[in-house]
């Protein structure tokens, strides 16, 4: 096929085009009831994550990535355990990639949990900037603002939902530039310039940890949200995802064009479901809870 810039783009195929693709959420998807869900469906997972973090991460999920990422990951796995699904493909939004790879059998659950705990700690220690959400702006506008301010387009989540990332002074400059262009912005409550080159220092120890774990062939294709294509080098792509932009809009489109007829969000909240309905209109999206309660 051809994209809008008239460049040839490879179209991938899913494994079973009669089944929905599974989507696993990332940071910011936490819900008040997710601890109860994990305690009820996967108590051993709650015990393991509490031991690895050093305390119950659910109690402090709003404070820091150190707690939020392990808690959301565990809630996503508890959601996966509750559904009887052999998806056509899977993908995860940033953190959610690790849950997607566990679901596909590419990563062992215990290995992935240790990686998530490390990832949350490394990102929480960044303290090197922040992120700026552009309200209603398209990707072209985001790129212009990013270039003017010296920041990175970190998340292309959905039409009208783009996030920039960078150092605080650069974000101040970008915010002023956005005001001149009448673009509304929201400064996100994060202390790191996530998914930007400023996170490369956090990616290195994560890459070293990834070298110590075993990677298996997945049972179904898992799409990387940084390449919008199936994983080809799980270790390198997971490490690189910390400092590379999330191309979520493109990823969902690629999965649908590969043959995924519908999507199921597995994990806490319905963030990806809401975004998905804006990305590929008319395509069914539902949450795993909808399947469990059907």
* Token code pair at residue 206: 């994560």
User: Alpha helices, DSSP H only, in 106-247?
Assistant: 109-124, 139-149, 168-180, 200-210, 234-240
* 181-210 residue pLDDT tens: 999 999 998 889 999 999 999 999 999 999
Q: Are 225 and 248 in contact (CB under 8 A)?
A: yes
pLDDT in tens, 202-239: 999 999 999 999 999 999 999 999 999 999 999 999 99
Exposure string of 130-167, with b = 16+ CB inside 10 Å and e = fewer, is bbbbbeebeeeebeebbebbebbbbbbbbeebbbbbbb
How do residues 133-159 score in pLDDT, each as one tens digit? Answer: 999 999 999 999 999 999 999 999 999
For the whole model, what pTM was predicted?
0.93
Interval 242-256: pLDDT, tens: 999 999 999 999 999
Which of 225, 266, 217 is CA-nearest to residue 242?
225
Distance CA 286, CA 85 (A): 13
- pLDDT for 184 equals 96
d(C-alpha 166, C-alpha 241), whole Å: 16
pLDDT of residue 121: 96
**pLDDT per residue as tens digits for the range 2-42:** 333 333 345 566 766 789 999 999 999 999 999 999 999 99
**Which residues are known catalytic residues?**
94, 195
Beta-bridge mates of residue 229 = 224
Structural domains of the chain sorted by starting position, each given as residue range(s) with its CATH number in brackets: 21-126+196-293 (3.40.366.10), 130-187 (3.30.70.250)
pLDDT tens digits, one per residue of 98-115: 999 999 999 999 999 999
Mean pLDDT confidence for 56-62: 96
Lookup: tokens for 293: 């309660």
Over 90: is that where the pLDDT of 169 sits? yes
Q: pLDDT: is 128 or 132 the higher one?
A: 132
Residue 47 predicted with pLDDT over 60: yes
Q: In what order do the strands lie in the sheet with 130-135?
A: 152-158, 161-166, 130-135, 184-187
45-49, 91-95, 113-117, 190-194: the lowest-pLDDT one: 190-194
Which has the closest alpha carbon to 220: 248, 249, 255?
Answer: 255
Q: Tokens 């997971």 identify what position?
A: 238
């Amino acid at each position: 096929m051809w994209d809008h810039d008239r460049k040839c783009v490879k179209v991938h195929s899913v494994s079973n085009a009669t089944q929905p693709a599974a989507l696993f959420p990332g940071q910011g998807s936490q819900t008040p009831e997710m601890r109860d869900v994990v305690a009820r469906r996967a108590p051993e997972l709650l015990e393991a994550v509490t031991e690895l973090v050093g305390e119950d991460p659910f109690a402090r999920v709003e404070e820091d990535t150190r707690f939020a990422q392990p808690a959301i990951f565990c809630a996503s796995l508890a959601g996966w355990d509750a559904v009887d699904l052999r998806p056509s493909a899977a993908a995860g939004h940033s953190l959610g990639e690790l849950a997607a790879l566990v679901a596909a059998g590419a990563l062992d659950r215990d290995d992935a949990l240790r990686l998530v705990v490390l990832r949350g700690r490394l990102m929480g220690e960044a303290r090197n900037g922040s992120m700026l959400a552009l309200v209603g702006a398209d990707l072209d506008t985001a790129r212009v603002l990013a270039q003017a301010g010296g920041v990175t387009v970190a998340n292309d989540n959905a039409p009208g939902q783009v996030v920039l990332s960078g150092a605080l002074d650069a974000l101040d400059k970008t915010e002023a530039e956005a005001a001149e262009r009448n673009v509304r912005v929201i400064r996100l409550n994060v202390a790191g310039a996530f998914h930007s080159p400023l996170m490369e220092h956090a990616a290195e120890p994560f890459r070293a940890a990834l070298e110590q774990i075993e990677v298996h062939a997945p049972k179904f294709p898992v799409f990387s949200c940084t390449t919008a294509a199936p994983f080809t080098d799980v270790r390198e792509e997971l490490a690189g995802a910390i400092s590379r932009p999330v191309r979520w809009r493109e990823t969902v489109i690629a999965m649908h064009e590969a043959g995924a007829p519908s999507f199921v969000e597995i994990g806490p909240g319905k963030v990806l479901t809401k975004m998905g309905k804006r990305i590929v209109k008319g395509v069914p999206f539902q949450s795993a809870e909808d399947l469990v309660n059907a």
